[in-house]
Copies of this chain bind each other. A is one copy, B any other.
């Protein structure tokens, strides 16, 4: 690592937040019950506390809110402890995770992400403090086949909940904001709070990683709520310090055990680094940091530009992982939405460069942006229908319309037509998750369709709220509550940063262009 990067890493480490800790006790005992109307078929009903535990027990504690932290409890014994005490601990962000068995596990990601542990203690009474950090609202404690002649009592169960988000920094919403929006805002902020740890994690259950795409959205909400500018700055330095040899920032990185880059190269994430830096400077006023990291931002723009062919179209030569959304129906490396992201990223680089007085360094991007926009209209636009299409089969998707609108390739009536046409087209590929839904909402606002934007907010995030979400989820498909990109709904993250953006919109984050 060269000196400059080492210096950025040191700055990032100096900005490591001291976590705020709050001890939380469970509010009640519950019992999962089958309910076809409830999310994933489970609702929680209040359960009575047993007057006395036996050798075996099975209790679900409800902490009343989503928490991230370390669990501790005591096990007391009534009688002579003639065999070890074995307690299975199972955590749930949502009811299904404590109502269902984790095994046999069908998911493609590591079984270690499923939050459970078996505690065996030879001597009682004992204090148990689980070393791993868990992310949960519900905790199920099961004593099975304990077989001794003694009884046990669980006492002192509590979570030392941690976050780097200071709730006292959040302004109240204006009184005019309606109830559902207030509820959505509160869930959004709880989501962001629990993802704000040593870095902006994508999800505190999984992957606990700093993803550039998620980070940008988290930061945007953070500037309008917790205002932890230092944490955003830390993350910007981390991406800069951990860039590859060619200057490309990682798409994902880890802060533990010590900062290191992940293995993913996502084109749409790299393209938005300059915008993320610009947004930080605008929100915090810390233009010195923007100036220091400007070479990193400019380098990302160069890397994006290098992927554009002589015809002005994104070529995907590396090849990159083109993310955009989890919907596997999106075809052909998602060429048109990536074209939009690339144009957006270059435009924001121009804006940042000019704000920093680096006009000469960004001048080259201006004709490129123009060429790319024209190429998109010439090659990726069905002028007859007024929608953007993608790939050889000229696929229509919400993604293409959203990103072309955000990129400003279309605006005003043309943008409205593109968005409304795609959204009315039953064949059009819809978003499969919150990340792309965010950009569709943003595009609708930008296109002057606030009613449609709010309707989407309320139908998508509002539906999660109606289904009892404490935090917004990584994956939510109203048509399939068990949808998972990883082969099991149990490994999905149910507190996921990229889902926290309703507060951005509800707190004035976007205005019609």
**What is the interface of chain A, defined by CB distance below 8 A to chain B?**
55, 79-86, 105, 107-113, 117-118, 120, 122-123, 132-133, 144-149, 206-209, 254, 256-257, 260-263
B residues near A82, Cβ cutoff 8 Å? 207, 209, 262-263
Q: Which of B80, B112, B133, B260 contacts A80 (CB 8 A)?
A: B260
**Is B83 within 8 A of A147, CB to CB?**
no
Since A82-B207, A110-B145, A112-B146 are in contact, a sample of 8 more A-B pairs with Cβ atoms closer than 8 Å, ordered by chain A residue number, is A81-B254, A83-B112, A84-B112, A85-B112, A109-B147, A110-B146, A111-B144, A122-B256
**Is B111 within 8 A of A145, CB to CB?**
yes
B residues near A105, Cβ cutoff 8 Å? 145
- How distant is the Cα of A86 from the Cα of B105 in the complex, in angstroms? 13
How far is the CB of A258 from the nearest CB of chain B, in Å? 9
**Is A83 within 8 A of B120, CB to CB?**
no
Which residue of chain B has its CB nearest to the CB of A260? B80
How far is the CB of A428 from the nearest CB of chain B, in Å? 33
Q: Oligomeric state, in number of copies?
A: 2
7 cross-chain pairs, A with B, having the tightest CB-CB distances, nearest first: A84-B112, A83-B110, A110-B147, A86-B112, A111-B145, A123-B257, A109-B147
B residues near A146, Cβ cutoff 8 Å? 110-112
B residues near A261, Cβ cutoff 8 Å? 80
- How distant is the Cα of A254 from the Cα of B256 in the complex, in angstroms? 43
**Is A113 within 8 A of B260, CB to CB?**
no
**Is B132 within 8 A of A113, CB to CB?**
no
**Is A111 within 8 A of B132, CB to CB?**
no
**Is B110 within 8 A of A80, CB to CB?**
no
B residues near A206, Cβ cutoff 8 Å? 83
Which residue of chain B has its CB nearest to the CB of A146? B110
**Is A113 within 8 A of B83, CB to CB?**
yes
- How distant is the Cα of A458 from the Cα of B262 in the complex, in angstroms? 63
**Is A147 within 8 A of B207, CB to CB?**
no
Q: Which of B107, B110, B145 contacts A148 (CB 8 A)?
A: B110
- Among A206, A207, A257, chain B packs the most CB atoms within 10 A around the CB of A257
Q: Which of B80, B111, B120 contacts A86 (CB 8 A)?
A: B111
**Is A80 within 8 A of B132, CB to CB?**
no
Q: Which of B83, B108, B208 contacts A109 (CB 8 A)?
A: B83
The DSSP consensus for interface residues of chain A is: loop
How far is the CB of A462 from the nearest CB of chain B, in Å? 32
- How distant is the Cα of A145 from the Cα of B117 in the complex, in angstroms? 16
- Among A84, A109, A110, A149, chain B packs the most CB atoms within 10 A around the CB of A110
B residues near A148, Cβ cutoff 8 Å? 110
- Among A83, A117, A148, A263, chain B packs the most CB atoms within 10 A around the CB of A83
Which residue of chain B has its CB nearest to the CB of A86? B112
- How distant is the Cα of A218 from the Cα of B80 in the complex, in angstroms? 24
- How distant is the Cα of A443 from the Cα of B382 in the complex, in angstroms? 102
B residues near A120, Cβ cutoff 8 Å? 112, 117, 132
**Is A110 within 8 A of B123, CB to CB?**
no
How far is the CB of A265 from the nearest CB of chain B, in Å? 13
A-B contact pairs, 6 of them (CB 8 A): A80-B263, A84-B112, A85-B110, A109-B147, A122-B208, A123-B257
- Among A82, A111, A208, chain B packs the most CB atoms within 10 A around the CB of A111
How far is the CB of A256 from the nearest CB of chain B, in Å? 5
- How distant is the Cα of A207 from the Cα of B81 in the complex, in angstroms? 11
- How distant is the Cα of A369 from the Cα of B83 in the complex, in angstroms? 39
**Is B112 within 8 A of A262, CB to CB?**
no
Given A105-B145, A149-B263, A263-B149, answer yes or no on A110-B122 (Cβ-Cβ < 8 Å): no
B residues near A208, Cβ cutoff 8 Å? 122
- How distant is the Cα of A263 from the Cα of B260 in the complex, in angstroms? 56
Which residue of chain B has its CB nearest to the CB of A122? B132
How far is the CB of A250 from the nearest CB of chain B, in Å? 10
How far is the CB of A105 from the nearest CB of chain B, in Å? 6
How far is the CB of A54 from the nearest CB of chain B, in Å? 13
Which residue of chain B has its CB nearest to the CB of A109? B147
Which residue of chain B has its CB nearest to the CB of A145? B111
- How distant is the Cα of A132 from the Cα of B121 in the complex, in angstroms? 8
**Is A147 within 8 A of B84, CB to CB?**
no
B residues near A256, Cβ cutoff 8 Å? 122-123
**Is A110 within 8 A of B132, CB to CB?**
no
Which residue of chain B has its CB nearest to the CB of A491? B147
Given A122-B256, A256-B122, answer yes or no on A107-B263 (Cβ-Cβ < 8 Å): no
B residues near A144, Cβ cutoff 8 Å? 111
- How distant is the Cα of A110 from the Cα of B143 in the complex, in angstroms? 10
